[in-house]
Structure 1
Amino acid sequence: MNSSKVWYITGASQGLGLTLVKRLLNDGYRVAATSRNAQSLKDAVGVIDTDRFLPLAVDLNNLDCIDESIRQTITAFGRIDVLVNNAGYGMAGTVEEIMEQDIRNIFDVNVLATINVTRSVLPVMRKQKNGFIINMSSVAGFVGAPGWSIYSATKAAVTAFSEVLALDIKEFGIKVTAVEPSGFRTGFLTQNSLAFTESKIEGYQAVKDTQERYLAANGKQPGDPDKAAEILIQLSENQEPPIHLYLGQDAYKRASEKLAAMTDELEAWKATTIGADFQDQN
């Protein structure tokens, strides 16, 4: 592995972002990492090595703040080889009961921040004529669960953005992967990472049952963050990384089942689908 590479990671003070930063620093990489509070990030990482670690206080809703963090990274390390758009949080509840401002807030963090950080990093990678962008999506962006419609919408947006971005920037030698994990023991279902609205409406039983099951599973998820971090590092060294990478057996199972169901549905409605075109006038 090329441990001289420079990584820029958002949302690094907890969860998978924190696990990844620690593993990279342990392996000798140079890392610029963002959080809302730089001191909290330093404390969480537990490593003060100004030669290889640059903790950055960044408001991901502020374009100038993002641009300044990129400038600081270039000043410190001279380049950015791998961008990991990791910042984000979950949202559970019914569409009827989640406040509009809360919906806007999660789109700002999960979607717009991913796009804006990418926009700021792309000129650097184009100049280098290489780079790798890892966008942390979720299997929920492809196969959602009851009560997670808003969160799933944000992650579907991240995945679609990644797919087309990969086409747009391929000519510059820049690669893109949307990483789509299932449940990992990262604290995702805790108060700091999940906006939860308990349904007060009669009915919505599928939503209520799913929420109860998910919350009960906190800390028992099958996904191992250390293994995920290792996979991301290996992925960064791959010359032909996938555009989609599902992580976890549950992610594989859910995605496989949906692909099969989509194929069956597509074929069942084929006549209707192609019947929407103009008929050949021969």
Structure 2
Amino acid sequence: MENNKVWFVTGASKGLGLTLVKKLLSIGHSVAATSRNLSDLSKAVGEYETFLPLSVDLANEESVESAISRTISKFGQLDVVVNNAGYGMLGALEELSDKEARENFDVNVFGSLNVIRKALPQLRKQQSGHIFNISSIGGFSGNFPGFGIYCATKFAVAGFTESLAAEVKSLGIKATVVEPGYFRTEFLTSGSLAVPNNPIDAYKEVRDSQVAHQNDINNQQPGDPAKGVDVIIAAAESKNAPLHLFLGPDAYHLAKAKIADVQKNMEDWKALATATNFDEVKA
């Protein structure tokens, strides 16, 4: 393993981000990590010479640019960027207001885009680097009642990561979208999972899903965050890093089911759906 890479990790005061930061520091990497609350982050990680805690508003481009600049100033380079910050949103599309939906996009999508925009000049200068964008299996399969807006944000992350990978490949930079299943973090607690301000009783499946996620699934998720971050680190060290990195057997199962459904839809409708070109004019 190459030691002393410089990592920049957002949303690092808890969950997968905190687990990743601790592991990176323990094996000799330098880490700049962000949180909305600097004291929470510093307390959770502890003091390391190779650790730079940063209070950052990811929705503010100047705040993001300052954090990237401070990282480069302290460590002299930037090797791996992990866009991990985000939160869940559980509510039917009709229930969620425009404001609630846009706030989820602001953090989960536009916050990551701000980081990418400000990090790429340094990565282009180096002609090297790797950007990991943390999506979800919900960014590949949207078959989760009540998670439509959240899934939409994570589908967006997957989509722009695919385009990013194509844009920066010739510059020596890699991009990976990470699509985890259920990992045992604080993701389903009230601080990380938003619910509608105005729920509609008619959506039984959504209410059932809300109860299940908040009461039954929370703290019972099968995924071990420590094992999950080991896979991300392995991908960062690999010469053959994946574009899509599914994490967890549940993520693999759901991805395979989605692929099979899409293939069936394509075959069922192939004759009609591919007969859409202009007819050739025969002489």
Give the TM-score normalised by structure 2: 0.96
1:207-254, Cα deviation, whole Å (9 max, x unpaired): 222222222110000010000111111110001111101111111111
Is contact 2:96-2:197 (8 Å) kept?
no
Aligned length: 280
SS of the residue 2:81 aligns to: strand
* Match of residue 209 from structure 1: 208
Residues in 2 aligned to 1:41 and 1:194: alpha-carbon distance in whole angstroms: 19
Give the equivalent residue in structure 2 for 1:140: 138
Q: Deviation string for 1:127-162 (max 9, x for gaps)?
A: 111100100000001112011000000000000000
Q: Pairwise mapping of residues 8-47 of structure 1 onto structure 2 (< 5 A)?
A: 8-46=8-46
| 2:75 matched residue in structure 1 | 77
Q: CA deviation at 1:272?
A: 2.2
CA contact (8 A) 1:10 1:86 kept: yes
CA-CA distance at 1:202 after TM superposition: 3.9
Indicate the residue corresponding to 1:178 in structure 2: 177
1:231-246 mapped onto 2 (5 Å cutoff): 231-246=231-246
- 2-structure distance, mates of 1:14, 1:222: 18
What SS does the aligned partner of 1:188 have? helix
2:2 counterpart SS class: coil
CA gap of 1:211–1:198, structure 2 versus 1, over 3 A, is: farther
Between the aligned residues of both structures, percent identity stands at 49
Q: Secondary structure at the match of 2:145?
A: coil
- Letter of the 1:271 counterpart: A
> In the aligned structure 1, how far is the partner of 2:186 from the partner of 2:39?
20
Matched AA of 1:115: L
Q: Give the distance between the partners of 1:54 and 1:242, measured in 2 at CA.
A: 28
Distance 1:62 1:251 in 2: 32
2:253 aligned residue: 253
| 2:115 corresponds to which of 97, 114, 117 | 117
Shift of 1:82: 0.3
Supply the distance in 1 between the matched residues of 2:184 and 2:239 (Cα, whole angstroms): 29
Which residue identity does 1:180 align to in structure 2? E
- Give the equivalent residue in structure 2 for 1:279: 279
Cα drift, residue 205 of structure 1: 2.1
Structure 1 counterpart of 2:60: 62
Partner SS state of residue 168, structure 1: helix
Once the 2 structures are TM-superposed, how far is the Cα of residue 276 of structure 1 from its aligned partner? 2.2
Give 1:93 shift.
Answer: 0.7
SS class of match (1:223)? coil
Contact 2:184–2:224, Cα closer than 8 Å, also in 1? yes
C-alpha distance in 2, partners of 1:247/1:8?
Answer: 21
Letter paired with 1:278: F
Contact kept, 8 Å, 1:93 with 1:199, in 2: the verdict is: no
SS in 2 for 1:59: coil
Could you tell me whether the CA contact under 8 Å between 1:94 and 1:199 is conserved in 2? no
SS in 1 for 2:8: strand
Give the aligned partner of residue 193 of structure 1.
192
| SS of match in other structure, 2:194 | strand
Q: What is the Cα deviation at residue 199 of structure 1?
A: 7.0
Which residue identity is paired with 2:110?
L
Give, as a single letter, the amino acid of the residue that structure 1 aligns with 2:225.
P
Tell me the residue number matched to 2:268.
268
Q: Which runs of 5+ in 2 are unaligned?
A: none
Judge conservation of contact 1:140–1:155 (CA < 8 Å) in 2. Answer: yes
Secondary structure of the corresponding residue to residue 39 of structure 1? helix
**CA distances 1:62-81 after superposition (whole Å, capped 9, x unpaired):** 10110011110010001110
